[in-house]
Amino acid sequence: MGVYTREDRALTFTGLESPTHLLIVFVVILLFFGGKRIPELAKGLGKGMRDFRKGLEEKSDETHDEEERERQSGTHESNTGQGHRAAPKA
């Protein structure tokens, strides 16, 4: 019970590395959802991923724009959350 041999490990499910594991997962999904709903699910998943990426890009653009405005105005927020003004140029 305590020691596993190479043959024992070959028979266990360790992840989705082998094509057999992927085939079993696909068959279970096919049985669970049916053939007509799988394209709908894939379409919804793809749309969700696109929306997520778009949201990440928009957030990144907003952050970049805020940093640029802070640099141009001469203020910068530190880690403490307090803004400070840059020293005036002589």
Domain boundaries, the chain: 36-72
| Range with lowest mean pLDDT among 15-19, 34-38, 53-57, 74-78 | 74-78
41-57 average pLDDT score = 92
The answer for residues whose C-beta is within 8 angstroms of residue 90's C-beta and 6 or more apart is none
In this predicted structure, what is the pLDDT of residue 2?
A: 59
| Each residue's pLDDT tens digit, 9-35 | 555 556 667 788 888 888 898 888 888
Neighbours of 29 (CB within 10 A): 13
Taking the model in full, what pTM does it have? 0.44
CA pair distance 26, 76, nearest whole angstrom: 52
Q: What percentage of the chain exceeds 70 in pLDDT?
A: 63
Phi first, then psi: give them for residue 44, nearest 5 degrees: -65, -40
pLDDT value of residue 6: 58
